[in-house]
Structure 1
């Protein structure tokens, strides 16, 4: 578990992972060495896995986003998983229970672009695709209680 200070550190970093140690220490009312030690412990415990970059896909020409449910055909699970791993436009993929085995998020430039990607796995899996209209809840931290 984490204490209130660790919680405040995580909240501040979730808002801006580029905060300097000085700025972060001011936000949580600790000295820079104390914050540095807490960060080190949070990383060692696996609470903090990475400091990431948030890029706007539309600025790179990816104007559409799709969620694709993927159901491999019998005996094709590992082949499909390997195929998915090779799709650069696929930015997230969860292996799930239920009728589908995978739920993937893709950034695409056009519907034709989506078709070309899905054609790569069409012989190995069934797909069901939804185009994302908006993302009312962006990726966020789980409750830190």
Structure 2
């Protein structure tokens, strides 16, 4: 699907506030409500918009710390390590990647003391490398 500037603006505005009423969205885009609604349905039908979601404040939920954890499973442990990641609720993101590491994850923590108990079970099956996130100056940018 070829997107024009109005489509890109709709996507950017919905990324900022997925609950924005169509009436407000249409005003900000400069189109009628029905035309804006048609464009939204077309963006959904073409898979550009796949779902509407909620952006949670992890700190308000009691997780003031986040870490990027790179995980390199030991030979024969790829699927076991993947299952371990999936079963640990503190991991909120996980990407399978190329290169030295197989997984790059984002881990939320209530305190730094929670880090070792989460990672310790991995050490028999994988190497881990952890970086505490100081800030996230860019998150979820739309490339359009």
Query: What is the TM-score of this pair, normalised by structure 1?
Result: 0.93
Question: What's 2:47 paired with?
Answer: 46
Q: Which runs of 5+ in 2 are unaligned?
A: none
Question: What's 2:4 paired with?
Answer: 3
Question: What's 1:112 paired with?
Answer: 113
CA deviation after TM superposition for structure 1 residue 125, in Å: 0.9
Question: What's 2:137 paired with?
Answer: 136
Q: Distance in 1 between matches of 2:27 and 2:137?
A: 31
Question: What's 1:76 paired with?
Answer: 77
CA deviation after TM superposition for structure 1 residue 105, in Å: 0.5
Deviation digits for residues 59-111 of structure 1, max 9, x if unmatched?
11111110000000101111111111111111111111110000100110112
Q: What SS class does the counterpart of residue 59 from structure 2 fall into?
A: helix
Q: Distance in 2 between matches of 1:75 and 1:47?
A: 37
CA deviation after TM superposition for structure 1 residue 139, in Å: 2.2
Deviation digits for residues 3-34 of structure 1, max 9, x if unmatched?
11111111211222111011111111212111
Aligned residue pairs, count:
143
Moved over 2 A (4+): none
Q: Distance in 1 between matches of 2:6 and 2:135?
A: 34
CA deviation after TM superposition for structure 1 residue 120, in Å: 2.6
Q: What SS class does the counterpart of residue 57 from structure 1 fall into?
A: coil
Q: Distance in 2 between matches of 1:45 and 1:64?
A: 37
Question: What's 2:87 paired with?
Answer: 86
Deviation digits for residues 22-59 of structure 1, max 9, x if unmatched?
11111112121111111111111110122121111111
Query: Over aligned residues, Cα RMSD in angstroms?
Result: 1.1
